[in-house]
Amino acid sequence: MLLLVGLGNPGPKYERNRHNLGFLAVDEIVRRHSFSPFKARFQSLVAEGNLGGEKVLAMKPTTFMNESGRAVGEAMRYYKLDPDDVVIIHDELDLAAGKVRAKQGGGHAGHNGLRSIDAHIGKDYHRLRVGVGHPGDKERVHGHVLSDFAKAEMPIFEKLVDAMAECADKLGDKSFDAFMTGVSLILKPPRPKSEKPKAPRPDAVSES
C-alpha cells in the first residue's frame, strides 16, 4: 500500500496559494483516477484508489502545514507502513516554477511541513518536489509561498498538475524515473523529425 500525501493548508483562504500545490496535485490525481470521495480520517481528508495496480490512500492533512507529520504518522501506524511506503508531494522553493524532481530522504530545507514529517516518521520517505521558484530574498519567502499563484503562472501550474495526474500510475510501484520522464514529455513533447524529401523514382525522371 502507498500513502500519497499532498501538503497544504486547509480552507478557502489558502486554496490557490503556492504552498498548497501538494493539495492541488492530489486533488487532480484523485479525480483523474476515480478514487473514492474524500472523507475525514487521520486528521486529514483521505480518498482510496489504485495507481498502477497498487492500493493507494491519498491524503490531505487538515492539521495546517506545520503539523503535517501528526496526520502522516497516524495513518502510517494504523496501516503498519514504513517510510518507504510514503510519498509526499510538496512545493519546492529551490526549483524553478513548473519543475518536478523526486528524491528519497534528505533535509527539509526549511519547509515546515517536511520538518514536521521528519519529526514524526524520520527522513526516509519519498518526496515529489514541485518547483514554485524562489522570490530572491529570504525575507520574502514566507509571503511568496503563502500568496496566490500569479495570473501569468496559472497556465504553467495547471498544465503541470495535469501532467502529474496523467503519469500518476507510475507512482503505484514507485517508478519515479518513469514518472518524471512522462511528465517531462507531456510538458515538452519532442519536436517531430522533419521528413527528408523523397528521391524521384527512376521511372519518373523525364527525358531531355
| Rounded Cα gap, residues 178 and 156, in angstroms | 21
At 65, list the grid cell. 502545514
Q: By the 8 A CB rule, do 72 and 3 touch?
A: yes
At how many degrees (to 10) do helices 21-32 and 154-166 cross?
Answer: 40
The torsion angle over the Cα atoms of residues 31, 104, 1 and 178, rounded to 10 degrees, is 60
121 phi/psi in degrees, rounded to 5: -130, 5
| Rounded Cα gap, residues 146 and 19, in angstroms | 6
Catalytic site residue 19? Answer: yes
Which residue is associated with the grid cell 486547509?
Answer: 10
Write down the catalytic residue from 19, 90, 111, 144: 19
In 7-162, DSSP assigns E strands to 39-41, 44-51, 54-61, 86-92, 100-104, 126-131
Q: E strand or H helix at 6, and its extent? A: strand 2-6
| Rounded Cα gap, residues 144 and 186, in angstroms | 27
State the catalytic residues.
19
